[in-house]
Structure 1
């Protein structure tokens, strides 16, 4: 594989492009008070509005991955992200009713999904196996970076200018990054293939990718069990103030982003993605059990486990993406990454309401204990043997 001296610049642009998309896809909750005040919406109604970009993203991830496989990463990222920025801008300042705004946000989320599969694909193409885990770990910090940027800007812009004008910030950010991607990103080389040659789907050849998607989705459950309920748990069960809980969790989120990078480097040194992923599944199981135990008998233990668990439960994310692209191969990596992202987002959407219902009907301790079942299942479903077989085949003379 050709080594591009600009590969780190391309990685930075891929990360920045996805972070820009995240500022509106996952950053809209920071405008909720201003949306409700301006539009008179109930909490349920505003919840539908802020979830619109995520729904759009889920609907188009695989399609954008297929487009990246066929047409290349640069054009897919630039077109999708640029379209998303324009749609958000039109929704913010070009509409007056909530319904057309919601539709435009839905379509903008669908357009932004282009970055998810294509940015991972371009990273996989330019980084070799010895750097790939680190590179994908860095790329996977895009979501916390984007949400952090939204948290630092959107509430202040919403208070000063109104929520519609505040939407111009992520819109301009998306358009700017789309231009930079179009100018500076290079598609990685692809192995030559005859026009008449058809590439068989890796999903038909073995169950490895299906198992990997399932394992990654299972590992999302402890991640979102902690992220969704930590602040409420610290305030209601541990009697912290919301401000103190927010600062604590902000620091923990930063540590989680650093953990993704460190885990990627660990995988490179180990020469494996899925063995570390399985070990992290064991650790996530222990985290959820200790969290439940702490809630029952030792509040200090629960707080300590939240801090450690917020790092451990997100650390596998980049490993799953890297392994997905490697198992899928060049011709199918865009679609496979889209499927991976879809499975994880579905699990992320289902976890808070289902575990929340369990907390309301029983207790935090039981909900956390139930949350331990999912990473425990991932210990057995992670297809380590398939990765070993692929490596042996690649090393064979």
Structure 2
């Protein structure tokens, strides 16, 4: 039997993760409708739209284990099928409390694609092409948010919150069927299902990549979460103009992920480019901090540049984690990677918001730059890495 087209497998993995992103990160487009239909305050509506992200944190590693043990197709299709059911239940509920619960459960189920889609890239793409492939995989989030932006507001206008949730459920259902029928699990070593395979976490390098990734979340969210606020409140841009520029920067960041993936493929290393990009990230954030503190006219351009740079290296870390973990542990390792990043992402806006309130944007950007510099030092050097095969087998 001929092997399947690896780009088709990648496309299905991106579609699976993107379908989850439609409701995990696209629900903010429902904020006005939620407030109008349920009589919620902005804080209460925000808690509802944040429920899928909260649910996802509890299951990422578990879904990674399922992908490691039973295969990518079962994990992705099974998780999306359950998410579809919970979205359907969310559409039928009458109260905001039950709505938040069902959305949280949908997020917990939809997290399956985050770990399993990365395993598809690891299994079907050779090392010299894996960086670009993982870069494409990492575009699932901005693409999913873009689909949500195009679909959810008109659906809510025509059919209300219930109709918009059913549209999201329909997207998940179609994707579930495609994944179940078309995804082929990549070949794996005989020990990969987890029987006696050594844990990669005895190697400090994997911990260092996780730690560096956590630190790099801060500059990404310092710019992504506060770019619009800074441009409107400090530079007096209109909300419409600032929103368009920030949206364009998101797509530029997605393109940056592809370029960084190609860079790592050519370099034959993920951690080398990751270290250098963290240094560039730190320099951009510190220049932005100086410009913002001085009220310099170059600050908006530096802000957008820093936003794009901070987004661009995300795929490098995921590729490094999957390769360091090896085929037997890749799903769990990428689940752990997603978990630690999302934990920091959840805490960063409130922490930096408080810092901005008391010390200004320049100070907050400077702190983010210092953490990016620390991340560069934390990233392991190429000489410290050991391939999975070099590890002592588990007893």
- Alignment TM-score > 0.5, same fold: yes
**Which of 197, 205, 208 is 1:208 aligned to?**
205
1:281 matched to 2:309? The reply is no
1:226 is displaced (CA, Å) by: 0.4
SS of equivalent residue, structure 1 residue 167: helix
1:141 matched to 2:139? The reply is yes
1:296 is displaced (CA, Å) by: 2.4
The answer to whether the Cα contact below 8 Å between 2:83 and 2:107 also exists between their aligned partners in 1 is: yes
Distance 2:65 2:304 in 1: 38
Distance 1:170 1:47 in 2: 18
The answer to whether the Cα contact below 8 Å between 1:88 and 1:108 also exists between their aligned partners in 2 is: yes
1:366 matched to 2:363? The reply is yes
1:179 is displaced (CA, Å) by: 0.6
1:53 matched to 2:52? The reply is yes
Task: State the match for 2:81 in structure 1.
Answer: 82
Task: State the match for 1:188 in structure 2.
Answer: 186
The answer to whether the Cα contact below 8 Å between 2:199 and 2:329 also exists between their aligned partners in 1 is: yes
Which digits, 9 at most, give the CA deviation of each residue in 1:351-393, with x for residues without a partner?
1100000001111111111111211111111112466443996
1:316 matched to 2:313? The reply is yes
Structure 2 alignment gaps of length 5 or more: none
The answer to whether the Cα contact below 8 Å between 1:231 and 1:245 also exists between their aligned partners in 2 is: yes
1:161 is displaced (CA, Å) by: 1.6
Number of matched residues? 391
Task: State the match for 2:289 in structure 1.
Answer: 292
Question: Could you tell me the TM-score, scaled by structure 1's length?
Answer: 0.95
1:193 is displaced (CA, Å) by: 3.1
Which digits, 9 at most, give the CA deviation of each residue in 1:281-335, with x for residues without a partner?
1011111111111112353321111221122101111010001010001111110
The answer to whether the Cα contact below 8 Å between 1:3 and 1:126 also exists between their aligned partners in 2 is: no
Within 5 Å, which residues of 2 pair with 1:1-397?
4-92=3-91, 94-193=92-191, 198-203=196-201, 205-385=202-382, 388-390=385-387
Structure 1 alignment gaps of length 5 or more: none
Distance 2:49 2:134 in 1: 28
Change (3 A) 1:190 1:218: same
The answer to whether the Cα contact below 8 Å between 2:205 and 2:385 also exists between their aligned partners in 1 is: no
Distance 1:142 1:23 in 2: 10
Distance 1:343 1:287 in 2: 24
1:160 is displaced (CA, Å) by: 2.1
Distance 1:196 1:54 in 2: 28
Change (3 A) 1:57 1:248: same
Change (3 A) 1:256 1:3: farther
The answer to whether the Cα contact below 8 Å between 1:4 and 1:126 also exists between their aligned partners in 2 is: no
Question: Could you tell me the TM-score, scaled by structure 2's length?
Answer: 0.95
Q: Does 56-65 or 79-88 show the bigger shift?
A: 79-88
The alignment's C-alpha RMSD in Å is 1.9
Distance 1:195 1:22 in 2: 28
1:210 is displaced (CA, Å) by: 1.1
The answer to whether the Cα contact below 8 Å between 1:133 and 1:267 also exists between their aligned partners in 2 is: yes
The answer to whether the Cα contact below 8 Å between 2:131 and 2:315 also exists between their aligned partners in 1 is: yes
Which digits, 9 at most, give the CA deviation of each residue in 1:143-187, with x for residues without a partner?
010011111221122122212211111111111101100110000
The answer to whether the Cα contact below 8 Å between 2:269 and 2:382 also exists between their aligned partners in 1 is: no
